[in-house]
Amino acid sequence: MKRFHVHLHVADLSASIAFYTRLFGAEPARVETDYAKWMLEDPRINFAISTRGATPGLDHLGFQTDDAAELEALKARAATAQLPMQDEGETTCCYARSDKHWIVDPQGIAWEHFHTLQDIPVFNEKPASTEAGACCAPRGKPLSIPVKSTTSCC
């Protein structure tokens, strides 16, 4: 079963954690100095916030899958959109190792499809790019192919 994913940039992590904890009626599943994540069951959502973005607001949307087969099905469906796709394969970001790919909608909103393989103790195992925000979400349109990011994401 898939889980909807939303990642926002926030200016004040503590204030945002307090707000979303009250809004969701649940504590975050993970809190770091620059990041927090709620894994809600009702609605089924992976909601993440971080202070790594340049401007507060939406970073990207996506779907987290429970297994590799679901991820492959999403990849096949995304391919029918006839827009360039960035396939990162196994990568690290947002304190997790995941298999993922990205597609950018016609408005420039990045969509991430990923299957989390394991938690990791750091935000990212690769050196941070000077252009990277919270994540490696592709920016703008069109996405140039082939793309192999030097940073990784949620």
DSSP annotation string for 53-85? SSSSEEEEEEEEESSHHHHHHHHHHHHTT-S-E
What domains does the chain contain, in order, with CATH numbers? 3-119 (3.10.180.10)
145 pLDDT exceeds 60? no
Q: Categorize the per-residue pLDDT at 144 as very low, low, confident or very high, splitting at 50, 70 and 90.
A: very low
Q: pLDDT value at position 154?
A: 55
- Higher-confidence residue: 68 or 151? 68
In degrees to the nearest 10, what's the CA dihedral of 68, 73, 75, 80? 170
Nearest-angstrom CA–CA distance, 51 and 74: 29
Q: pLDDT value at position 52?
A: 85
Minimum mean pLDDT among 12-21, 25-34, 58-67, 118-127: which range? 118-127
Q: Categorize the per-residue pLDDT at 38 as very low, low, confident or very high, splitting at 50, 70 and 90.
A: very high
Residue at token pair 């990041």 = 35
DSSP type of residue 88:
E
pTM over 0.85: no
Q: pLDDT value at position 90?
A: 81
Residue at token pair 């420039």 = 108
Residue at token pair 């993922």 = 100
- pLDDT per residue as tens digits for the range 42-92: 999 999 999 988 889 999 999 999 999 999 999 999 999 888 899 888 887
- pLDDT per residue as tens digits for the range 109-141: 999 999 988 777 676 777 555 344 445 666 544
Q: pLDDT value at position 89?
A: 82
98 pLDDT exceeds 80? yes
Q: pLDDT value at position 116?
A: 85
